[in-house]
Amino acid sequence: MTTWEKIQHEFHKGNSAIRQIIMVNLAAFILTIFVGVIAKLSGFSPEDLLEYFYIPSNIGKLIIRPWSIITNIFFHAGFWHLLGNMILLYFIGRILEEFMDFKKVWKIFLYGGISGAMLFVLSYNIFPIFSEVVGYKKLLGASGGVTAILVATGTFLPRYQVRPFGLFNIELRWVALFFVFRDLYMFPVSDNTGGLFAHMGGALFGLIYILNLQGRITKPTRNPNQKPFFWNKQKDERTMVTINVNKKQKPNQEEVDAILDKISQSGYDSLSKHEKDILFKASE
């Protein structure tokens, strides 16, 4: 087995989205190190090349670097920046991964990161306070995606208890709220305003995604009284019946909370097949 085949095997091992996200972030960090070495030997600054992977606040630059909307999510300012994000992602994300399928976890991370990046760009171009720095500010880091995972987990599994450092039990909803309010508290005094915008954008996406998944909010639709001239009443009635059946099959939040309480006390393996099916349906 070649080195590349080994890497591919490790990447797909366990079909874990969190594992894959961490590996992609590590790969981007290793690339950063190599670029730094080459830059040192060649006599230029690593930032001259790496900045093409970061999302700029300047819209003109963003237009010619559209890929940076995604690549900025996987690059970090340094080892400690990477480590902090990956530790939080691992300990929170693996909990969500037990109750949600592979694609949804990836979607929350990616779209959460993109939402955070776009809120950063919009804020720096809308608010006059940033007018002097909008031409050169940039954003990088997985914080938006990680915050989306954190808030999504706290919203989807609000009563699930964790035990930080083995000291005390705390429900995930309070963990998520702690990080959100920490960012709000830091906003007036922090020099990392762009990063805080990324956190907020990710948090909003994580919250909205789960609420929509649970049917607690829905996408806006046109006025149902305004039917197009080609509207087929029989077809519409069949559609409404299907929607109503699906709603009945969706487990309610009280059932989910009761199962989560049982997991906190006895572990996931203590669940019956029926209870596991309820959690699976809740994540669809």
Question: Among 22, 150, 57, 38, which residue's Cα sits nearest to residue 96?
Answer: 150
pLDDT of residue 202: 96
pLDDT of residue 167: 83
Question: Which residue matches tokens 């939402």?
Answer: 115
Q: What is the chain's alpha carbon radius of gyration, rounded to the nearest angstrom?
A: 22
98 in helix, strand or coil?
A: coil
In order of 47, 95, 150, 258, 281, the CA distances from 253 in angstroms are 48, 18, 19, 9, 12
pLDDT of residue 3: 78
83 vs 88: CA distance, rounded Å? 9
pLDDT of residue 225: 59
Q: Hey, which bits of the chain come out as E strands? A: 55-56, 138-139, 161-162, 170-171
pLDDT of residue 250: 59
235 in helix, strand or coil?
A: helix
Q: Where are the alpha helices (DSSP H) in 65-139?
A: 68-71, 79-97, 102-126
Question: Among 110, 142, 136, 141, which residue's Cα sits nearest to residue 124?
Answer: 136
pLDDT of residue 222: 61
Per-residue pLDDT of the chain (284 residues; tens, 9 = 90+): 787 777 787 777 878 899 999 999 999 999 999 998 998 888 888 888 899 999 999 999 999 999 999 999 999 988 999 999 999 999 999 999 988 888 999 999 999 999 999 999 999 999 988 888 888 899 999 999 999 999 999 999 999 888 887 788 889 999 999 999 999 998 887 888 888 999 999 999 999 999 998 888 776 666 555 555 444 545 444 444 444 444 445 566 677 777 777 776 666 667 776 776 677 666 55
Q: Is 55 exposed, middle or buried (0-12, 13-18, 19+ CB in 10 A)?
A: buried
- One-letter amino acid at 231 equals W
Tokens of 128: 């006059």
Q: What is the pTM of this model?
A: 0.78
* Contact indicator for 18, 94 with CB cutoff of 8 Å: yes
Tokens of 284: 């669809």
pLDDT of residue 66: 94
pLDDT of residue 231: 46
pLDDT of residue 230: 41
pLDDT of residue 227: 54
Please, what sign has the CA dihedral across residues 66, 69, 70, 74?
positive
Question: For the chain, how are helix, strand and coil distributed in percent, rounded to 5?
Answer: 70, 5, 25
Task: For the chain, list the domains and their CATH numbers.
Answer: 3-213 (1.20.1540.10), 235-282 (no CATH)
